[in-house]
């Protein structure tokens, strides 16, 4: 039972009855109301398989009006709802904790328009990120964000988690690229903030309330996103580096030499790459080094850009910051190096249970927790590795243990969050708070801010039906 496993009690919501199911069927038809245990099961389990809910109903709306009718009904009946996109979230936010109704947005997947000049893309929230990117590319644009889960995650999920990803360094976060939003409040009211203007300072920036609110303030149904122009030239460098200090020196050098074309600066340590190559049987294009750095450029002239990156490689090999490296401008080779990087998050799952942390830290302390945690766990951990978006100060720390134990869990938490807080970092850089981190949010948010969050939740969802048990800490 969730209450035993999670040490949390079900709130006094209604339970779905057959009359409710009949109502949902009257709106959606029989096909889009799932009640068979086998059909519902996949929607109850998260990507990491850390969280499992007991929902008995999955609803699949196709329109904003359907979402509105469903929420209005659920609000009146006090039925709790868990909005779900691609279910790739890593903090247990996308699956029910108890028997919340799963509101799956996957059928709201229409692209509505793409402006050929401004690059403004208007679409429904259930569009898969990779499909949007392919669509944008057909019109010489790209999506402003890219992440390993792009083949499954939805743009609505991305907005709701304020996903960062691999190119935030260049194209900024979603607060900047999101121009407009349509969302449905808990009581079914449709909020139309679906503007498409780059500049619009007419009052409160309400669309931002939904960015990163993880389905607790409303259901995102449509978005307007600014897409950057597709770069004519993409070049990728993959380098071996001796120490983390040298990774930082290289970051500085890359900003100085490649500043205007730099689109990604990622790092991974030896254990991250080795676990990935071993578990997925893929090869590492260079030999073994303590650290690896991946530098990507997006520019407008292939000759100039690869010359710049090659020059950078020569210069930094001479300085000793780069020990070895390879540069690619052919799509297949670029794809295979990115493939290696993007496989890191799932690599550890093959060896056991993975504790995952996604934290922001000031750069001088960026890697500090990894050796600290290796010492703390000793040989109880199969592997501890660090990788991530060093250009944005965001490290992912994965600790694999043969199997989950409460003892290790309580040794890691709140320890890690206390350490992050002491170092003035954030306990969640880009994955959000969801279910797993809700009782640690105070390590990164002042009580005054948490109080305002509760007030907003009360204002927008007075019955608390939207994604309960998520984001906000339990009330003791």
Please report, as ranges, the residues that interact with ligand FAD according to CB under 6 A.
Answer: 47, 82-90, 93-94, 105, 125, 147-149, 153-154, 156-158, 160-161, 163-165, 214-215, 219-220, 345-346, 430-431, 434, 467, 470
Token readout for 45 is: 């389990």
Nearer to ligand FAD, 32 or 304 (CB): 32
Q: How far is the CB of 434 from ligand FAD (least distance, A)?
A: 6
Nearer to ligand FAD, 320 or 462 (CB): 462
Q: How far is the CB of 205 from ligand FAD (least distance, A)?
A: 18
- Rounded to an integer, what distance in angstroms lies between the CA atom of residue 270 and that of residue 279? 14
Q: How far is the CB of 218 from ligand FAD (least distance, A)?
A: 7
Residue 1's CB is within 10 A of a number of other CB atoms, namely 8
Judged by DSSP in three states, 414 sits in coil
Q: How far is the CB of 259 from ligand FAD (least distance, A)?
A: 23
Nearer to ligand FAD, 306 or 398 (CB): 398
- Rounded to an integer, what distance in angstroms lies between the CA atom of residue 47 and that of residue 52? 10
Nearer to ligand FAD, 165 or 348 (CB): 165
- Rounded to an integer, what distance in angstroms lies between the CA atom of residue 363 and that of residue 255? 14
Q: How far is the CB of 371 from ligand FAD (least distance, A)?
A: 23
Q: N- to C-terminal Cα distance for the chain? A: 21
Token readout for 11 is: 């709130």
Helices (H), 29-167: 37-44, 64-77, 129-138, 155-161
* Residue in the structure block whose two tokens are 């020196």: 249
Judged by DSSP in three states, 104 sits in strand
Nearer to ligand FAD, 87 or 246 (CB): 87
Nearer to ligand FAD, 120 or 220 (CB): 220
Strand pairing category for 178-184 and 190-193: antiparallel
DSSP structural state of residue 330: S
Q: Indicate the burial class of 302 (C-beta count within 10 angstroms; 0-12, 13-18, 19 or more).
A: middle
Q: How far is the CB of 6 from ligand FAD (least distance, A)?
A: 16
- Rounded to an integer, what distance in angstroms lies between the CA atom of residue 180 and that of residue 441? 28
The residues near 436 (Cβ < 8 Å, ≥ 6 apart) are: 50, 51, 91, 92
- Rounded to an integer, what distance in angstroms lies between the CA atom of residue 31 and that of residue 361? 47
The residues near 272 (Cβ < 8 Å, ≥ 6 apart) are: 344, 347, 385, 386, 387, 398
Q: How far is the CB of 148 from ligand FAD (least distance, A)?
A: 3
Shortest-Cβ-distance residue relative to ligand FAD? 157
Q: At what angle do helices 369-377 and 415-422 cross, to 10 degrees?
A: 150
Nearer to ligand FAD, 246 or 400 (CB): 400
Q: How far is the CB of 286 from ligand FAD (least distance, A)?
A: 23
Q: How far is the CB of 135 from ligand FAD (least distance, A)?
A: 17
Nearer to ligand FAD, 312 or 366 (CB): 366
- Rounded to an integer, what distance in angstroms lies between the CA atom of residue 272 and that of residue 386? 6
Strand pairing category for 101-104 and 81-84: parallel
Nearer to ligand FAD, 187 or 302 (CB): 187
- Phi, psi (deg, nearest 5) at residue 84: -135, 130
Length of the chain: 476
Q: How far is the CB of 318 from ligand FAD (least distance, A)?
A: 33
Nearer to ligand FAD, 371 or 462 (CB): 462
Nearer to ligand FAD, 71 or 247 (CB): 71
Strand pairing category for 120-124 and 111-114: antiparallel
Q: How far is the CB of 166 from ligand FAD (least distance, A)?
A: 6
């Amino acid at each position: 039972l969730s209450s035993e496993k999670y040490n949390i009690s079900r709130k006094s919501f209604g339970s779905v009855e057959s009359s409710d199911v009949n109502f949902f069927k009257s709106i959606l038809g029989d096909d889009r109301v799932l009640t068979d245990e086998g059909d519902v099961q996949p929607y109850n389990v998260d990507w990491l398989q850390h969280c499992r809910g007991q929902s008995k109903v999955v609803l699949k709306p196709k329109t904003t009006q359907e979402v509105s009718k469903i929420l209005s009904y659920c609000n009146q009946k006090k039925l709790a709802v868990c909005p779900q996109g691609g279910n790739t979230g890593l903090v247990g936010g996308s699956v029910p904790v108890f028997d919340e109704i799963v509101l799956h947005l996957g059928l709201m997947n229409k692209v509505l328009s793409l402006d050929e000049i401004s690059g403004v893309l208007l679409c429904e929230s259930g569009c898969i990120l990779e499909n949007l990117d392919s669509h944008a590319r057909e019109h010489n644009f790209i999506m402003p964000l890219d992440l390993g889960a792009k083949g499954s995650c939805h743009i609505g999920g991305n907005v709701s988690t304020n996903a960062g990803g691999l190119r935030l360094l260049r194209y900024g976060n979603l607060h900047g690229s999101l121009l407009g939003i349509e969302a449905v409040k808990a009581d079914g009211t449709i909020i139309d903030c679906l503007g498409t203007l780059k500049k619009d300072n007419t009052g409160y920036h309400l669309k931002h309330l939904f960015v990163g609110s993880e389905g607790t303030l409303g259901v995102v149904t449509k978005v307007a996103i600014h897409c950057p122009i597709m770069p004519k030239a993409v070049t990728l460098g993959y380098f071996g580096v001796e120490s983390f200090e040298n990774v930082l020196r290289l970051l500085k050098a890359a900003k100085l030499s490649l500043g205007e074309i730099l689109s990604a600066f990622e790092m991974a340590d030896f254990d991250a790459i080795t676990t990935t190559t071993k578990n997925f049987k893929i090869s590492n294009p260079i030999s073994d080094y303590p650290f690896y750095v991946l530098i990507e450029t997006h520019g407008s002239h292939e000759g100039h850009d690869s010359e710049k990156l090659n020059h950078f490689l020569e210069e930094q090999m001479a300085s000793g910051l780069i020990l070895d490296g390879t540069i690619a401008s052919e799509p297949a080779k670029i794809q295979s190096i990115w493939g290696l990087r993007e496989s890191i998050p799932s690599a550890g799952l093959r060896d056991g249970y993975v504790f995952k942390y996604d934290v922001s830290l000031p750069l001088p302390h960026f890697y500090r927790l990894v050796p600290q945690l290796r010492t703390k766990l000793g040989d109880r951990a199969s592997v501890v590795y660090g990788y991530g978006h060093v250009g944005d100060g965001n490290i992912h720390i994965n600790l694999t243990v043969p199997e989950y134990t409460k003892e290790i869990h309580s040794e890691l938490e709140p320890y890690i969050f206390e350490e992050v807080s002491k170092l003035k970092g954030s306990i969640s850089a880009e994955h959000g708070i969801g279910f797993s981190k809700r009782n640690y949010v105070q390590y990164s948010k002042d009580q005054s801010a948490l109080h305002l969050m509760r007030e907003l939740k009360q204002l927008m969802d007075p019955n608390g039906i939207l994604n309960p048990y998520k984001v906000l800490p339990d009330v003791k």
